Structure 1
Amino acid sequence: MIQEMNNKVAPIDSVHHQAWKPEQRAPRRRSIIREFALNTSTHGLPGIARSESKHNCLFWAVSFFIFLGIMTFFITQSIRDYFSYPTQTTLSYVVERSQAFPAVTFCNYMPARYDYLIMDAINYTNSLGITNTSDTTTFTISQAIAIREFLRYKLDANQSITEYFFSIDSMLISCTYNNQQCTSSDFITFLSSHYGSCYTFNAKLKNTSRTGIRYTSDNGGVGQLKLRLYAHSHLYVPYIIEEVSAGMVIMIHDNTQFPQIDVSGMNLAPGFKHQLNYRKKANYFLSAPYTDCTDKIPLAMKAMFDRYEGAYYAYSQTACFTLCVQAYIYQECGCVSPVEWSARSVVVPDTNRIVLASLCATENPCYTEASIRLSNSTDLWNQFCSDCTQECTKIEYLVTPSLSKAPSTYFAYITKAFVEASSVPLPTNWSKNWMTEVEENFISVEIMCGSIQVENYTQEASLNAADVLSNVGGLSGLWIGVSFLSIMEFVEMLYRLLRRQYQIFRYGA
């Protein structure tokens, strides 16, 4: 019987060694997830995976999702804060021993000379039947009003009116910069709607063989411009400037700034030496998306700038406002405001075509009403002037004025010689009253750099991409302990789940 049993049992050596290897089964998806939850560095998940009771599991699950929600809220806030593009402004003082000397623009307070204007104006008013005279010594208020219409007529006919303005040679007695003599050729002409021909020293030029702008350290100096001027008030047109009897207007501005001297100019009274000490202030704004600032020159502004003699002017928000108001007036009235006759360039709506618009008649109320309507309507303003945003870089010169009585007796004689040598007609009784005339027309102005410290206001982003990433990392680590390696653990789990799903789909196991 034993023999029979032996015959039925196979020898151990005859069993193949593969039969003794345990069968390897692919891990189930639940096992993959549980293994990830037990081993991940993310807080809360290991507590859920190893819980031995429902209460313990529920405690960890509720805790995990509460803190996950809090973390998500703060991370969302951090990202929203970034996309609101917050900024901060830093103030710094930089010592610039040698800095660009600013541009200086001056004008006679009266735009036109009576002796140049009166005969042509009378001929015009006579032709219209407004007057019937050839008398150039008598001048009435009605003639003053007619002169504005005469100048508008000349401009609409594309005729020059600059011959009626005061020339720089008739006003500039002397000029020195850092003790070096300068002349009228060192100035360029700028046309102001309010003051006629104005003259700018040290403007940045384009397409010129002249050397660049002057610096405060030129010729071993400290940045000092001295101008001695003469107003010729006996040639002022009556009733035009009302209460002012004589004077000049001056503006200290950046070398590329369009000089809106009627807005930012300073009045200089005759009979004084004016000391203007300046210090430089620079403002730097961030471009989009942080602010809506721009340096791009619109088409109409470029056309206006091209009319000036070689000056390199940068974008000006103030000039943009003037042009957008003129564009609206042109749409409503078919003409533009004669008050701003130097800003006649208008872009035809829905085109890139520039027209040199005609000026509205002085008595036409349309341009005044349209201007008021535009100013009072936010919708209209946004439609016509939305592109007039602030400049991205704005240089300002803060001026401290002082004055003293002038001229001295010595310089009164020098001024007398200048007036008598000029081509300007002398006032009545000049030989007897020349000292009084000089005192009522002489203006001396000295512009000097008052500080080599430049005040810089720089706008900076409060949050950048690195700050947001740091905030997200800090918040995720604080609330649920997530790091980049935790994310890689989650990626590994997803990969294993996808691979398992692929095996089931392909092999059915």
Structure 2
Amino acid sequence: MIQEMNNKVAPIDSVHHQAWKPEQRKPRRRSIIREFALNTSTHGLPGIARSESKHNCLFWTASFVVFLAVMTFFITQSIRDYFSYPTQTTLSYVVERSQAFPAVTFCNYMPARYDHLIIDVLNYTNSLGITNTSDTTTFTVSQAVAIREFLRHKLDANQSITEYFFSIDSMLINCTYNNLQCTSSDFITFLSSRYGSCYTFNAKLKNTSYTGIRYTNDNGGVGQLKLRLYAHSSLYVPYISEEVAAGMVVMIHDNTQFPQIDIVGMNLAPGFKHQLNYRKKANYFLSAPYTDCTDKIPLAMKAMFDRYEGAHYAYSQSACFTLCVQAYIYQECGCVSPVEWSARSVAVPGTNRIVVASLCAAENPCYTEAAIRLSNSTDLWDEFCSDCTQECTKIEYLVTPSLSKAPSTYFAYVTKAFVEASSVPLPTNWSTNWITEVEQNFVSVEIMCESIQVENYTQEASLNAAGVLSNVGGLSGLWIGVSFLSIMEFVEMLYRLLRRQYQIYCYGA
């Protein structure tokens, strides 16, 4: 009996040691969440997990929810502020010992020469029946009015009209830059409907780089341009210049700026030396999405700039406005404004086709009515001129003018010799009245760099991505103590919950 029982008892060492280990219970989902809540660095959750009463749990839960809502509000506001792309402008003064000397454009106040114009204008007005005379010594108001129509007719026929205006050689007595002589070949020519032929010194050309333009420290100088000019008022066409007896117009602008001298030109009276001291001011704007500024030149503007003897001009908002108005006038009238000679290249709306439009007749009311209609209609303006945004870079020159009486006795004789050596006809009383003529026509202008300090106005983003991240981190840390490590703790909890769910799904335990 004892033997049989011994045979049925298993030896102790035959039982596997794993059988004596207590079975490990896998953590439940609730315990995983509670463990996270007790140990997380996020404020409020440990208080909820430790609560031993419903009141305590409710207090911590309400506190956490309220502070979480407040934090969410401020974080959302911070992100919205970022996507509104706020900016700020900083002012700095930068010393540029060697800076590009600006471009200088000048024109005679009178656009046309009487001696070159009168015969052709008489033939034109006689052909239209406006006049019936060959007298070139008498000029009437009706003939003066017909001059613009005569020039418009020539332009529409693609005929040259430069011979009717004052050439630079007939006006430029002397030119020096930093004490080096400059000549008429240092200027480029363009046509202005108001002033005729105009001339620009130191414009940036397409076939040159910025090394091809003049700098203020060239030849050891300080940036000084001297121009001595003669107006030839004896050849002014009557009734055209209205109350102005004689004078010049000048504009100081950036080397790549389109010179709208008709609008921003400065009048220079004869009989004086005009001193124009300038200071440079630069404005830099942020591109999209902060502003809608652009540097892209439209096709019509490129065609417009091609009329400026190879000048390499940059995008101009004012030129863009002129061209969009011309495009609307062309659509409505089939011609463009006769006062914008250089803006005859029109982009056909909805296409990339450029049309060289004819100029409207002065008596045609269509172009003025269309321009008024466009300026008064917001919808039309948005349709035709919405692309005319501001320039991303804008260079300005702040000018301080002064003047003194000129010319001196010595330079009066120099001017007399220049006028007599030119091909321009002399006034009838020149021999006895030349000193008065010189005083009434001599214009001297000196443009000089006043300061090597440049005012830079730079637009900057007042809130960037790093700033938003700092705001979010500060707000989340302030209200509920969340950091990146807190987020990783939350990620770990999610991983454990998913793993537990997977085990339940696969093994049923």
Structure-2-length-normalised TM-score = 0.97
Q: What residue number does 1:306 align with?
A: 306
Judge conservation of contact 1:321–1:388 (CA < 8 Å) in 2.
yes
Which runs of 5 or more residues in structure 1 are unaligned?
none
Q: What residue number does 2:404 align with?
A: 404
Q: CA deviation at 1:6?
A: 8.9
1:9-53 CA distance string (max 9 Å, x none): 766545432221111232211111111111111001111111111
SS state of the match for residue 288, structure 2? coil
1:116-173 CA distance string (max 9 Å, x none): 1111111111111121111111111111111111111111111111111110000000
1:206-265 CA distance string (max 9 Å, x none): 125996111111111111110000000111111112111110000011011111111111
Q: Which moved more, 1:24-33 or 1:198-207?
A: 24-33
1:260-294 CA distance string (max 9 Å, x none): 11111100000000000001111111111111111
1:319-357 CA distance string (max 9 Å, x none): 111111111111111110001122111001111000000
CA distance in 1, matches of 2:190, 2:32: 80
* CA 200–504 in structure 1, closer or farther in 2 if over 3 Å, else same: same
Alignment of 1:102-501 (within 5 A): 102-207=102-207, 212-501=212-501
* CA 306–146 in structure 1, closer or farther in 2 if over 3 Å, else same: same
* CA 220–407 in structure 1, closer or farther in 2 if over 3 Å, else same: same
CA distance in 1, matches of 2:6, 2:481: 66
Q: CA deviation at 1:7?
A: 9.2
CA distance in 2, matches of 1:434, 1:243: 23
CA distance in 2, matches of 1:226, 1:98: 19
Q: Which moved more, 1:55-64 or 1:2-11?
A: 2-11
Q: CA deviation at 1:72?
A: 0.4
Judge conservation of contact 2:113–2:236 (CA < 8 Å) in 1.
yes
C-alpha RMSD over aligned residues: 1.8
CA distance in 2, matches of 1:428, 1:406: 23
Q: What residue number does 1:44 align with?
A: 44
Q: What residue number does 2:95 align with?
A: 95
Alignment size in residue pairs: 509
Judge conservation of contact 2:105–2:198 (CA < 8 Å) in 1.
yes
Judge conservation of contact 1:270–1:440 (CA < 8 Å) in 2.
yes
Judge conservation of contact 1:174–1:227 (CA < 8 Å) in 2.
yes
SS state of the match for residue 63, structure 2? helix
Percentage identity across aligned positions? Answer: 92
Judge conservation of contact 2:300–2:354 (CA < 8 Å) in 1.
yes
CA distance in 1, matches of 2:44, 2:170: 89
Judge conservation of contact 1:107–1:248 (CA < 8 Å) in 2.
yes
* CA 210–10 in structure 1, closer or farther in 2 if over 3 Å, else same: closer
1:179-211 CA distance string (max 9 Å, x none): 111111111112222111111111111125996
SS state of the match for residue 341, structure 1? coil
CA distance in 2, matches of 1:505, 1:211: 76
Judge conservation of contact 1:176–1:225 (CA < 8 Å) in 2.
yes
Judge conservation of contact 1:337–1:360 (CA < 8 Å) in 2.
yes
CA distance in 2, matches of 1:182, 1:156: 35
CA distance in 2, matches of 1:478, 1:9: 69
CA distance in 1, matches of 2:204, 2:411: 33
SS state of the match for residue 320, structure 2? helix
CA distance in 2, matches of 1:337, 1:21: 101
SS state of the match for residue 155, structure 2? helix
1:350-375 CA distance string (max 9 Å, x none): 11000000111100011111111111
Judge conservation of contact 1:253–1:259 (CA < 8 Å) in 2.
yes
Q: CA deviation at 1:502?
A: 1.5
SS state of the match for residue 23, structure 2? coil
CA distance in 2, matches of 1:94, 1:74: 39
Find out whether 1:32 has 2:32 as its counterpart.
yes
* CA 150–244 in structure 1, closer or farther in 2 if over 3 Å, else same: same
CA distance in 1, matches of 2:61, 2:11: 56
Judge conservation of contact 1:208–1:310 (CA < 8 Å) in 2.
no
SS state of the match for residue 339, structure 2? helix
SS state of the match for residue 338, structure 1? coil
Q: CA deviation at 1:4?
A: 11
* CA 6–48 in structure 1, closer or farther in 2 if over 3 Å, else same: farther
CA distance in 2, matches of 1:326, 1:193: 15
Judge conservation of contact 2:307–2:342 (CA < 8 Å) in 1.
no
* CA 14–197 in structure 1, closer or farther in 2 if over 3 Å, else same: same
Judge conservation of contact 2:192–2:198 (CA < 8 Å) in 1.
yes
Q: CA deviation at 1:307?
A: 2.0
* CA 492–327 in structure 1, closer or farther in 2 if over 3 Å, else same: same
Judge conservation of contact 1:206–1:311 (CA < 8 Å) in 2.
yes
Structure-1-length-normalised TM-score = 0.97
SS state of the match for residue 130, structure 1? coil
Which runs of 5 or more residues in structure 2 are unaligned?
none
